[in-house]
């Protein structure tokens, strides 16, 4: 078996793993049984070049023997790179089974051009593979110039394109229109080219979708030699690989004032299997590590949450599971100003489990509360979020002016409806800037507030360290007053975002994590 190894494939596995530090690993695959394009070498070289440009590890081969379970596990994405199967079968039964298992285990797939014309695999695999592609290539007119319509320019693969793209290539028709089952990125204007067989006016040409546990990106472009040197096409495929890998970092629409970005796809250190030791802020500032908190636990090590990889319901992104556990940041004053006048906005991509009540109604998933001020009077100060015992989300701000639980100085802003256990949501909170009395709002999945409240700003309030998984004071008695559920992403802005900015962030996060 002959492999062209562009960069070293295997690296030393350390006892403590830092996710998102290793380069992507790409299988650049061209085994076929049928028509061979004279652009195949250009296609192979393009993926290798993208690997060099991006620091990916690329293995190029035309040998199907590489399709073994353990070998496939080493790759983030498998690219079927313009390889046809229109004459006969390509894969053995074992190879079909191994590839299918790879996708079901969260693998990424990119199909280019003739990868959609693999027709003779037989058994249930043939139908499954056409589902992975999204349809089946059946016909095409002569190579010619045509007009492509970029329907979605927010995706990482199409952000560089204008609304129209004119290019010379071969324009396939398909066995059926895949639009109902895929996310169409680019379609073909059927009035812009000549051909006897067309798709009735709606002609998708590049798309992506989640399929059988994995991620699939397909473009029917890729016939000519010239297209593989076209920078627009190269970036299209590059973006498709990044999306299929699950590591795509699409540009966030609002970054002004971003203070904290905890993303379960990046910079999560684990130990002893999947136990989280550190979760790092993706914003370059003094708020760095959120570290495991195990002090006071009856069972040693039970204070660490758990990292779960490639969750299909989250577009293949990772999540961190909390069972009354917490991660604590050591910066005592980093978040103080957020309730002293600057205002703030936070976003949490999360789900909830059945809660285990300790203090009724207090199942916190973040907070920087201090339970007494400098006078020792028990005047709570800080901001936090949590759930009632029946999983209605709430937010709170405590200004340190007076004692008491759930009053005008310690308001509870809670939603009227509970979240469903195991379903993923975008839960958000916003506190207006200014002095005097300001507004607090709670949101779930959209810009319509689920609840509102008022708080009097105290410029002298002095909260404590920020905790994720429970509110800060509860770390004095770990495992209490904390929530059971998952957090895939947690962001905090040091200002109150406008409704327009909120909508932009909502669209970005719901699209990225496939939230309904």
DSSP 57-92: EEEEE--GGG--HHHHTT-SEEEEES--BSSS----
DSSP-derived letter for residue 183 is: E
- Can you tell me the distance from the alpha carbon of 238 to that of 58, in angstroms, rounded to the nearest whole number? 13
Helix (H) or strand (E) holding 303: none
Closest C-alpha among 345, 302, 350, 351 to residue 323: 302
d(CA 55, CA 26): 11
d(CA 176, CA 282): 43
Under DSSP, is residue 177 helix (H, G, I), strand (E, B) or coil? Answer: coil
Q: What angle do CA 427, 431, 434 make, to 5 degrees?
A: 165
CA–CA gap between residue 76 and residue 98 (Å, rounded) = 15
Among 58, 81, 79, smallest CA distance to 4 is for: 58
Tokens of 209: 């979708």
For tokens 């006969």, what's the residue? 88
Cite the DSSP H helix spans in 228-268: 231-245
pLDDT (tens, 9 = 90+) of the chain, 516 residues, equals 333 433 333 332 333 344 444 789 999 999 999 888 899 999 999 999 999 999 999 999 999 999 999 999 999 999 999 999 988 899 999 999 999 999 998 899 999 999 999 999 988 999 999 999 999 999 989 999 999 999 988 788 998 999 999 999 999 999 999 998 898 999 999 999 998 889 899 999 999 998 888 899 999 999 999 999 999 999 999 999 999 997 765 568 899 999 999 999 888 988 888 999 999 998 989 999 999 987 778 888 888 999 998 788 987 788 999 999 999 999 999 999 999 999 999 999 999 999 998 888 899 999 998 876 555 556 788 999 999 999 999 999 999 887 767 888 888 999 999 999 999 999 999 999 999 999 999 999 999 999 999 999 999 988 999 999 988 766 677 778 899 999 999 999 999 999 999 998 998 899 888 898
The sign one gets for the Cα dihedral 234, 240, 241, 243 is positive
- Cα atoms in the 13 Å half-sphere on the side-chain side of 211: 28
Complete domains list, the chain, with CATH: 4-245 (3.40.50.880), 258-513 (2.60.120.200)
Beta-carbon contacts of residue 462 (< 8 Å; ≥ 6 apart): 333, 336, 370, 373, 374, 381, 400
Tens of pLDDT, residues 182-231: 989 999 999 999 988 898 999 999 999 988 888 999 999 999 999 999 99
Over residues 224-281, the pLDDT tens digits come to 999 999 999 999 999 999 999 977 655 688 999 999 999 998 889 888 889 999 999 9
| Total-model pTM | 0.60
């Amino acid at each position: 078996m002959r492999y062209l190894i562009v960069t070293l494939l295997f690296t030393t596995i350390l006892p403590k793993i830092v996710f998102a530090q290793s380069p992507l690993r790409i299988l650049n695959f061209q085994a076929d049984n049928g028509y061979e394009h004279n652009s195949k070498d250009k296609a192979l070289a393009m993926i290798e070049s993208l690997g060099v440009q991006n620091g990916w590890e690329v293995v190029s081969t035309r040998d199907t023997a590489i399709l073994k379970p353990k070998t496939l596990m080493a790759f983030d994405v498998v690219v079927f790179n313009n390889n046809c199967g229109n004459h006969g079968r390509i894969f053995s039964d074992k190879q079909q089974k191994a590839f299918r298992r790879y996708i079901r285990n969260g693998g990424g797939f990119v199909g280019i051009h003739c990868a959609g014309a693999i027709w003779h695999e037989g058994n249930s695999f043939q139908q499954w593979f056409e589902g992975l592609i999204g349809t089946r290539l059946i016909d095409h007119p002569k190579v010619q110039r045509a007009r492509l319509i970029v329907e979605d320019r927010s995706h990482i693969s199409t952000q560089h394109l204008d609304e129209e793209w004119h290019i010379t290539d071969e324009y396939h028709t398909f066995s059926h229109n895949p639009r109902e089952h895929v996310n169409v990125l680019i379609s073909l204007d059927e009035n812009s080219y000549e051909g006897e067989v067309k798709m009735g006016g709606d002609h998708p040409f590049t798309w992506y979708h989640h399929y059988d546990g994995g991620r699939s990106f397909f473009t029917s472009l890729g016939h000519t030699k010239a297209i593989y040197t076209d920078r627009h096409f190269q970036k299209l495929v590059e973006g498709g690989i990044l999306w299929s890998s699950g590591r795509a970092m699409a540009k966030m629409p609002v970054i002004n004032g971003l203070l904290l970005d905890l993303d379960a796809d990046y910079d999560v250190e684990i130990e002893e299997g999947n136990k989280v030791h550190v979760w790092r802020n993706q914003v370059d500032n003094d708020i760095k590590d959120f570290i495991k908190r195990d002090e006071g636990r009856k069972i040693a090590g039970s204070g660490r949450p758990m990292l779960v990889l490639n969750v299909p319901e989250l577009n293949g992104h990772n999540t961190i599971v909390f069972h009354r556990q917490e991660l604590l940041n050591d910066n005592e004053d980093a978040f103080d100003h957020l309730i002293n006048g600057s205002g703030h906005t936070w976003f949490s991509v999360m789900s909830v489990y059945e809660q285990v009540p300790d203090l009724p109604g207090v199942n916190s998933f973040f907070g920087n509360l201090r339970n007494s001020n400098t006078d020792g009077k028990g005047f709570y100060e800080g901001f936090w979020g949590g759930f009632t015992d029946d999983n209605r989300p709430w937010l709170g701000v405590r200004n340190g002016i007076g004692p008491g639980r759930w009053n005008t100085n310690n308001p509870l802003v809670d939603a009227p409806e509970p979240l469903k256990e195991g379903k993923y949501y975008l839960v958000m909170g916003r506190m207006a800037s200014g002095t005097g009395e300001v507004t607090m709002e709670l949101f779930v999945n959209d810009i319509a507030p689920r609840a509102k409240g008022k708080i009097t700003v105290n410029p002298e309030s002095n909260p404590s360290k920020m905790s994720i998984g429970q509110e800060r004071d509860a770390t004095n008695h770990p495992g209490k007053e904390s929530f059971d559920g998952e957090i895939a992403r947690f962001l905090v802005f040091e200002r109150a975002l406008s409704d327009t900015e909120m909508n932009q962030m909502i669209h970005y996060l719901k699209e990225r994590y496939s939230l309904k």
